[in-house]
Chain A
Amino acid sequence: MNLGRLFWKSFLAFWGALVLAGLAAGMMISLLNEAHTRDLQLAAGPRTAFIVNNAAATLRYGGVAALREVMREWQQERPEDVSLYVVDAQSHELLGRTLPISVLARARARARTPLNDGHPPNVREVMSTDGQRYLLFIPAEAEAAHLRARPEPLPWVPIGGGLFASLVFSALLAWYLAKPIGLLRWAFAALAEGRLDTRVQPLMGRRRDEVADLGADFDRMAQQLGRLIDAQRRLLHDVSHELRSPLARLQAAIGLLRQDLGTHVLIERIERESVRLDELVGELLTLSHLEAGTDPRAREAVDLLDLVAEIVEDARFEAQPQRRDVRFSGAAEIRVMAHVGSLYRALENVIRNAVKYTAEDSVVEVQVDYLAPTQQARIIIGDRGPGVPRADLSAIFEPFYRSANGQKAAGFGLGLAIARRAIEANGGRIRAHNRSGGGLCMEILLPGEIQRPSS
């Protein structure tokens, strides 16, 4: 699947936003955690209360020397475990350790106003035997250091998981946004190519949002366009169809008139004009039949080289007296499944058209080859005529197109329109471009298979 720029843009935007939000949230949490621990600078809990109470009893009844002795003993046994701090009024610690002023201030405040949360008190102020007041407490850091001997590693698993999840989520969201846009783009391209039965709503599934509404609007537009074009085609077909009966009677009547009056200039003229009218109606009917699609029953295997060679031969026969020539090259034998009559007509129209417009003493080049990767036969017809203005390159395939430079050509202006409809009805495509060095080049692609590679 071709993921468009929109997908990548929204994907990167979503993902970036998610990662940033994740980082911000992580930082907030760690900051909050820090503030939290700072607020609880003092350790609490039954273990703390027990140690503090014991030390307080020792101090009150045994004096400072006894407590210092006990704490020295603890320090010798388990040096890292001595978390109890004993501070006198001059802020001297019993064992000479230092600690932040904020922790000490917090401990003093807590000693004056104990927490009324039902827990045993974690800070005590005790009068020792020598009449000094001592503050006993355990700082939170010491407690925490006791609880986790090693520093915690960075949480790689949740970080990785978060990144992965945000990646997947962003991709899904971006795809969800970009997919219907891609769908709409495809639908517009299809419509532009003339496939008026293109509908996007069935492809949108059960989506209900503005994009789905846009899809519904597109469908309505395509339907309306289709209806208008159908009506136009039907009108063209009906008019030409209805013209046939009076035309047939007219011709029969002209025939009777001829029998009665013999040849007369005016009768000849009337007959000629009625035949012209008849040809025009025939062309229009051919066009409308082709637009309705040819009957697949009428398709058969056609040797393309044979067909093109035959048409080129005829065209050359007519071109040479006008000092123009047609040159044909192509060696691969290609078989196409086609409706011979319409394909013949299409190629003949295009080749004759080239002969008509190519300059005097110039050559129309017709070339047939095979494109193996796409399994298509390619027919290229290049003339050395005036070419066509860029803007009109697709308009020349419309019925009754007349070139802007006012060149009046023989015929009804239906030749290329019929050619395009016929080629499309046979599953192919035709397009025109101006050649370097002047002239117009028609490129026709038809699905086909190779019989024998070029020798």
Chain B
Amino acid sequence: MTRVLLIDDDVELAELLKAYLEREGFEVRLAADGEQGVREALRGDCAIVILDVMMPRLNGIEVLSRIRAHSRLPVLMLTAKGDDVDRIVGLELGADDYVPKPCTPRELVARLRAILRRTQEAQNPERRRESLQAGLLQIWPTQRRVQCQGHNLELTSTEFNLLEVLVRNAGYVVSKQELSEQGLGRALTRYDRSIDVHVSSIRHKLAQVCGERTWIRTIRGLGYQFLQE
């Protein structure tokens, strides 16, 4: 059974969500504050973390950066509605996706499943050796590993997914809609800039490891294009 760690200081809500998620077939562990949340997350026996960004004392952003310092465990953020900063900072710090809170539990489960589907494909042993080559980049999709001229590129799982989609379509323009569906596992919503934030983070990391050149080009009004040469 998939174990979910829910880090939220609203205990009543957490209990309700726990009941809901259990009926949806998840096993749920609760953490009522950030400290406890980081400890639980780093024990390594959870498949995914649902993290409330708005928490007293150790807030969600801080929890996320502590988890990311040691682990690439998938993290779904619950962000404050109307506040873009938490969301953008969260995505930059490597959260896999976000849901504005309050949200319907159905939406939460849909996002959860989308992230899990992407990450669990990696556990399929038959495809473990498969690799993709694009210019100086080599990608092992199942191992979620990227190398550039022998140097490892540290990407979060969402960044990895997006790069994989772009590389599979190297030389062609991929629309944000496609990127959202294939990379984030959900349809692009209005006002949604998360694809742009993720792509900007990938560009930054590529530039650090592979050197300054345009790897991913923005095609106005259309989407993004991965350039091999």
Q: A residues near B, CB below 8 A?
A: 244-245, 247-256, 258-259, 271, 274-275, 278, 281-289, 294-295, 297-298, 303, 305-306, 309-310, 313, 339-342, 344-345, 348
Provide the residues of chain A in CB contact with B1, threshold 8 Å: none
Whole-angstrom distance between the Cβ of B102 and the nearest chain A Cβ: 4
B42 at the interface (CB under 8 A from A): no
Show 27 residue pairs from A and B whose CB-CB distance is below 8 angstroms, ordered by the A residue.
Answer: A245-B10, A245-B13, A247-B102, A251-B104, A251-B105, A252-B16, A252-B17, A254-B104, A255-B105, A255-B106, A256-B23, A259-B23, A275-B104, A281-B81, A282-B82, A285-B81, A285-B83, A294-B84, A294-B85, A295-B85, A297-B85, A305-B220, A306-B221, A340-B196, A341-B191, A341-B193, A345-B191
Nearest B residue (CB) for A303:
B220
Provide the residues of chain A in CB contact with B105, threshold 8 Å: 251-252, 255-256
Q: Is the CB of A255 within 8 A of B13?
A: no
CA distance A252 to B12 in the complex (A): 10
B101 at the interface (CB under 8 A from A): yes
Provide the residues of chain A in CB contact with B23, threshold 8 Å: 256, 259
Across the interface, A342 reaches (CB within 8 A) one of B80, B84, B102, B104, namely: B84
Provide the residues of chain B in CB contact with A256, threshold 8 Å: 16, 19-20, 23, 105
Q: Is the CB of A248 within 8 A of B85?
A: no
Q: Is the CB of A306 within 8 A of B220?
A: yes
Q: Which of B51-102 contact A (CB under 8 A)?
A: 80-85, 88-89, 100-102
Q: Mark B1-13, 1 if CB is under 8 A from A, else 0.
A: 0000000001011
Q: Is the CB of B83 within 8 A of A309?
A: no
Across the interface, B191 reaches (CB within 8 A) one of A248, A253, A298, A348, namely: A348
Provide the residues of chain B in CB contact with A339, threshold 8 Å: 84
Top 8 A-B residue pairs of the complex, sorted by shortest distance between their CB atoms: A285-B82, A255-B105, A286-B82, A252-B16, A248-B102, A282-B81, A341-B84, A306-B220
Q: Is the CB of A289 within 8 A of B82?
A: yes
CA distance A66 to B102 in the complex (A): 134
Nearest B residue (CB) for A247:
B102
CA distance A244 to B8 in the complex (A): 14
CA distance A297 to B197 in the complex (A): 13
Whole-angstrom distance between the Cβ of B114 and the nearest chain A Cβ: 18
CA distance A303 to B218 in the complex (A): 11
CA distance A286 to B81 in the complex (A): 7
Q: Is the CB of B10 within 8 A of A248?
A: yes
Number of A-B contacts (CB under 8 A): 93
B103 at the interface (CB under 8 A from A): yes
Nearest B residue (CB) for A249:
B13
CA distance A339 to B196 in the complex (A): 13
Across the interface, A310 reaches (CB within 8 A) one of B12, B104, B221, namely: B221
Known: A255-B104, A278-B102, A341-B191. A298 touches B16 (CB 8 A): no
Q: Is the CB of A348 within 8 A of B102?
A: no
Provide the residues of chain B in CB contact with A340, threshold 8 Å: 193, 196
B43 at the interface (CB under 8 A from A): no
* Total number of B residues with any Cβ neighbor in A under 8 Å: 30
Nearest A residue (CB) for B8:
A248
Nearest B residue (CB) for A259:
B23
CA distance A287 to B82 in the complex (A): 8
Nearest A residue (CB) for B192:
A341
Considering residues A248, A250, A284, A339, which has the most beta carbons from chain B within 10 angstroms of its beta carbon? Answer: A248
Nearest B residue (CB) for A418:
B82
Q: Mark B187-203, 1 if CB is under 8 A from A, else 0.
A: 00011010010000000
Provide the residues of chain B in CB contact with A281, threshold 8 Å: 81, 102
Provide the residues of chain B in CB contact with A342, threshold 8 Å: 84
Nearest A residue (CB) for B78:
A248
Provide the residues of chain B in CB contact with A251, threshold 8 Å: 102-105
Q: Which of B176-214 contact A (CB under 8 A)?
A: 190-191, 193, 196
Whole-angstrom distance between the Cβ of B67 and the nearest chain A Cβ: 22
Provide the residues of chain A in CB contact with B100, threshold 8 Å: 282
Nearest B residue (CB) for A260:
B23
Q: Is the CB of B221 within 8 A of A271?
A: no
Whole-angstrom distance between the Cβ of A336 and the nearest chain B Cβ: 15
Q: Is the CB of A344 within 8 A of B82?
A: no
Q: Is the CB of B84 within 8 A of A252?
A: no
Q: Is the CB of B17 within 8 A of A288?
A: no
Nearest A residue (CB) for B84:
A341
Q: Is the CB of A259 within 8 A of B85?
A: no
Nearest A residue (CB) for B200:
A300
Known: A248-B10, A303-B220, A341-B191. A253 touches B16 (CB 8 A): yes
Whole-angstrom distance between the Cβ of A322 and the nearest chain B Cβ: 18
CA distance A288 to B12 in the complex (A): 27
Provide the residues of chain B in CB contact with A286, threshold 8 Å: 81-82
Provide the residues of chain A in CB contact with B101, threshold 8 Å: 244, 248
